[in-house]
């Protein structure tokens, strides 16, 4: 019985898909007996849980807004908690694919989790719309089943380097970030573009991910005119506070996670003046962003940052891609091809499209933490002071030249006398 139904739906689906391809009209809601299965790899326990819970809320906010339909199909949403480690990510990915039979995976959160499942999603041909920023998976070792609507680690810090050198007129900067791939790639991108525009990174500090007290590192910040921090999770909060307590006065600039909007309610006065670059900003005035923020406030009473926003964008991309193929997710190649071609003008982060390596091209916002204009009962506010449009993962370098370099790391670009 179910077999016959699915054969009929296949026909309907294919017909609808063909119709769409021919007429380029949005597909009508194709009644399919089997719901579309959407899996999310997120983190709901342990230290990374804050971001992981926001990811799930971002997905659910979109699903609620669309009455749990994507591309005209009813959605079955399955959320899996990886525990925030590579082994857990692998196990849960297998569970989603083999036990639950999902059609698409959203997530995971962290770069090392994505590296852990990268081979597996190729083997299973499983379309994966990730948040994780591991640069190389859309650069030198691209994964054809991965689509990244968030950003590479260095996608926001490269414009930050340009802004720091040309607008903030900084000359000598000390960088400090966690000693793991996300930190290395962020700071590498900053250094490369900052030095290209005449700045100089005079020292790079790498505290371990778990560092209760940053003061020993802060003590090494000397002879510079600003500090660039690339901390993630709750670490920016502690760093900014301990930095102020140590009596340092150099201005601070930050990567996307270093001043995430979800931290605004926790930051104190010490964060005033912090300049950051991010692919999403809470203060963007656009319809999609208003819908998204209102939904988050209504559903969860949560002020979102990029974790929720970028997952909401992922859902929009998926919705549009499914629309193109008439809701039929069985041909994975076709679905991936449709997803890659998605261009959206109204998302919480502004217009987006994808490059040929499946990475997003979008706006990067430079923001400054101020008191004026704060909304949603916040005391502090990330006010956008500059925007860079259509930023690709290669920044202003030609793709070939960019890919000829090694991936950004702890030692690349090297520290040079300048």
Run of H or E residues at 176: strand 172-176
Q: Does position 47 bind other proteins by CB under 8 A?
A: yes
Stretch that binds other proteins, among 145-153, 235-243, 318-326, 370-378 (CB under 8 A): 235-243
Q: Does position 265 bind other proteins by CB under 8 A?
A: yes
From residue 44, give the alpha-carbon distance in Å to each of 23, 77, 87, 105, 213.
Answer: 43, 16, 15, 16, 25
Q: Does position 237 bind other proteins by CB under 8 A?
A: yes
Among 28, 101, 198, 268, binds other proteins (CB under 8 A): 268
How many residues touch other proteins (CB under 8 A)?
A: 41
What is the three-class DSSP state of 211? coil
Q: Does position 52 bind other proteins by CB under 8 A?
A: yes
Among 24, 25, 67, 208, binds other proteins (CB under 8 A): 208
Mode of pairing for the β-strands spanning 73-81 and 275-278: unpaired
Q: Does position 381 bind other proteins by CB under 8 A?
A: no
Structure tokens that stand for 355 in this block = 């490059």
From residue 57, give the alpha-carbon distance in Å to each of 104, 110, 308, 369.
Answer: 18, 17, 6, 25
Give the x/- contact pattern for other proteins in 174-193, rule: CB under 8 A. Answer: -----x--------------
- The position carrying tokens 């933490």 is 369
DSSP 179: S
Q: Does position 415 bind other proteins by CB under 8 A?
A: no
Give the x/- contact pattern for other proteins in 131-170, rule: CB under 8 A. Answer: ----------------------------------------
Closer Cβ to other proteins, 209 or 337, answer by number:
209
Give the number of C-alpha atoms closer than 13 A to the C-alpha of residue 91, restricted to the C-beta side: 9
DSSP 290: H
Instruction: Tell me the β-bridge partners of 384.
Output: 367
The values of phi and psi at residue 148, to 5°, are -120, 105
DSSP 359: B
Run of H or E residues at 59: helix 49-65
Q: Does position 293 bind other proteins by CB under 8 A?
A: no
Q: Reduced to 3 DSSP states, what percent helix, strand and coil does the chain have, rounded to the nearest 5?
A: 40, 20, 40
Q: How far is the CB of 213 from other proteins (least distance, A)?
A: 6
- The closest of 290, 258, 251, 255 to 273, measured between CA atoms, is 251
CB atoms within 10 A of CB 13: 23
Structure tokens that stand for 37 in this block = 């299965």
Q: Does position 390 bind other proteins by CB under 8 A?
A: no
Among 8, 29, 45, 167, binds other proteins (CB under 8 A): 45
Closer Cβ to other proteins, 203 or 396, answer by number:
203
Stretch that binds other proteins, among 131-139, 157-165, 239-247, 284-292 (CB under 8 A): 239-247
Q: How far is the CB of 52 from other proteins (least distance, A)?
A: 8
Stretch that binds other proteins, among 142-150, 153-161, 257-265, 315-323 (CB under 8 A): 257-265
Run of H or E residues at 161: helix 157-166
Q: How far is the CB of 128 from other proteins (least distance, A)?
A: 24
What is the sign of the dihedral through the CA atoms of 263, 117, 150 and 324? Answer: negative
Q: How far is the CB of 31 from other proteins (least distance, A)?
A: 39
Among 62, 190, 262, 280, binds other proteins (CB under 8 A): 262
Closer Cβ to other proteins, 262 or 365, answer by number:
262
Q: Does position 215 bind other proteins by CB under 8 A?
A: yes
Cis preceding-peptide flag for 413 (omega within 30 of 0): yes
Stretch that binds other proteins, among 49-57, 182-190, 280-288, 346-354 (CB under 8 A): 49-57
Q: Does position 200 bind other proteins by CB under 8 A?
A: no
User: Which residues in this chain contact other proteins in the complex, by CB under 8 A?
Assistant: 44-47, 49-54, 179, 205-208, 210-213, 215-220, 222, 233-234, 237-238, 241-242, 245-247, 262-263, 265-268
């Amino acid at each position: 019985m179910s077999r016959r139904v699915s054969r009929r739906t296949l026909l309907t689906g294919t017909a609808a898909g063909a119709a769409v391809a021919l007429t380029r009209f949005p597909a009508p809601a194709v009644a399919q007996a089997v719901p579309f299965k959407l899996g999310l790899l997120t983190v709901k326990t342990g230290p990374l849980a804050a971001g992981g819970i926001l990811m799930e809320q971002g997905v659910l906010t979109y699903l609620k807004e669309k009455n749990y339909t994507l591309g005209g199909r009813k959605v079955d949403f399955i959320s899996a908690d990886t525990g925030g480690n590579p082994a857990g990510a692998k196990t849960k990915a297998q569970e989603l694919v083999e036990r639950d039979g999902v059609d698409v995976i959203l997530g995971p959160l962290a770069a090392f989790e994505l590296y852990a499942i990268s081979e597996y999603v190729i083997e299973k041909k499983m379309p994966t719309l990730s948040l994780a920023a591991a640069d190389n998976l859309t650069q030198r070792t691209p994964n054809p089943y991965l689509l990244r609507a968030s950003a590479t680690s260095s996608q926001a810090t490269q414009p930050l380097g340009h802004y720091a050198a040309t607008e903030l007129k900084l000359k000598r900067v000390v960088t400090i970030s966690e000693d793991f791939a996300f930190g290395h790639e962020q700071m590498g991108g900053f250094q490369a573009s900052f030095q290209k525009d005449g700045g100089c990174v005079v020292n790079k500090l790498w505290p371990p991910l778990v560092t209760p007290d940053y003061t020993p590192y802060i003590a090494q910040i000397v002879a510079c005119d600003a500090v660039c921090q690339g901390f993630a999770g709750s670490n920016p909060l502690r760093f900014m506070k301990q930095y102020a307590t140590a009596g340092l006065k150099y201005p601070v600039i930050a990567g996307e996670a270093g001043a995430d909007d979800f931290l605004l309610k926790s930051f104190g006065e010490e964060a005033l003046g912090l300049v950051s670059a991010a692919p999403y900003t809470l203060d963007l005035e656009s319809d999609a962003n208003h819908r998204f923020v209102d939904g988050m406030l209504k559903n969860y009473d949560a002020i979102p940052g990029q974790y929720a926003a970028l997952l909401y964008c992922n859902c929009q991309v998926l919705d549009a891609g499914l629309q193109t193929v008439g809701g039929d997710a069985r041909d994975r190649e076709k679905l991936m091809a449709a997803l890659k071609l998605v261009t959206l003008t109204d998302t919480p982060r502004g217009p987006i499209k994808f490059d040929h390596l499946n990475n997003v091209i979008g706006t990067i916002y430079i923001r400054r933490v101020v008191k004026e204009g704060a909304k949603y009962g916040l005391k502090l506010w990330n006010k956008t002071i500059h925007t860079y449009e259509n930023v690709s993962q290669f920044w202003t370098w030609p793709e070939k030249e960019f890919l000829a370099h090694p991936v950004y790391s702890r030692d690349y670009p090297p520290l040079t006398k300048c």
